Chains A and B, each alone.
Chain A
Amino acid sequence: MNTVADPLLAHVLRHGDRALVLSQRLGQWITHAPELEEDMALANISLDLLGQARHLYTYAGELEGQGHDEDHFAYWRTSTEFLNPLLVEQPNGDFAHTMIRQVLHDHAALLYWQSMTTSRDQTLAALAVRARNETEFHLRHCRGWVVRLGDGTDESHRRAQAGLDALWPYAEELITAPADDAALRSDGLIGDDIADAWRADVAATMAEATLTLPVGVTAQSGGWTGHHSEHLEGLLQELQEVASAFPGAKW
């Protein structure tokens, strides 16, 4: 349940959690990717996301004003306190599944960071420039894969379409701003709504990949306010295992 009262703090945590959870998911690919080069690529994307999460958590600590550092937000919160959208906590599936998840996310992330570069909040605007450049490369990478897989062999097409069918219910939440965001937007702290641009970008990518967008699907939501699928619990257990076993450990 979302118990964060300050809308800007909630916003920063939402995007920090989005980046951290997806980073952890991508990290699970390491040593399992189809090629050594792809192992490196996924690890790089994962580390970029981890860096974004660290900046956002550090800023969240400042906004909250209770002396919490980045580790506090990553390691010492339960799954109901995490505010990431549902898409990023979904399991990796096969490689095509992961690339579909990534392209849906990165289209939204690129538009989001682009819109944040004009935020009145100096910290977020500065981070947005760097994150936008990183995300541009992530998108280029996974979009290339989605097009190649979708417009590839019968099997790669089938797997990519299966990934899209499975993940589509979680996609819309990415661009459905939580109610808190409205006040932030009118204050100029966050940028323009990205929903229409995202729909257009995703439609163009999927068309090029010869993949069909599912219709009549019931969209799932709740992640932004702490209502998660069963998959987040296990992910956090793994992420927080060492910190829980050795509280306060330094390395």
Chain B
Amino acid sequence: MNADWPRWEVFLRARRGLSHTHVGSVHAADGETALQAGRDLFTRRQEGISLWVVPSEQVVASDPDDQDSLFEPADDKSFRFPTSFELPSEVDQM
């Protein structure tokens, strides 16, 4: 109904030490109401402790048609994966 309300991308930090993760979007007239809507929609079941909202129009996205030039060159560069390192046995998890 309010087609003129801009869209906002919502980012949620699940707990201390984790980064904010994109969880969805809301429509709202301004940042304050976008935060409230984000709280209502995405934290109903204790999903997070911090919220960011960002105007969707501020997000610069890569073009799906550029997939080949942007991402395929990483395909055959196995040397970028640290697969040939032996982990000391004292290190349980990395």
A interface residues, Cβ below 8 angstroms from B: 34-38, 40-41, 44, 137, 140-141, 144, 148
Contact = CB atoms under 8 A, between A and B. Distances in A.
Contacts, number: 31
Nearest to A47: B44
A41 B5 contact: no
Contacts of B39: 137
With most chain A CB atoms within 10 A of its CB, the pick from B1, B27, B32, B40 is B40
Given A44-B40, A44-B44, A144-B36, A37 B27 contact: yes
B72 to A, nearest CB: 39
Contacts of B37: 37-38, 40-41
Contacts of A44: 40, 44
Given A34-B1, A144-B36, 19 more contacts: A34-B2, A35-B1, A35-B5, A37-B26, A37-B27, A37-B28, A37-B37, A37-B40, A37-B41, A38-B37, A40-B37, A40-B41, A41-B40, A44-B40, A44-B44, A140-B36, A141-B36, A144-B33, A148-B29
Interface of B: 1-2, 5, 26-29, 32-33, 36-37, 39-41, 44
12 contacts: A35-B5, A37-B27, A37-B28, A37-B41, A40-B37, A40-B40, A41-B36, A44-B40, A137-B36, A137-B39, A141-B36, A144-B33
Main SS of the interface on chain A? helix
Nearest to A45: B40
A38 B1 CA distance: 12
Contacts of A38: 37
A175 B37 CA distance: 30
A41 B37 CA distance: 7
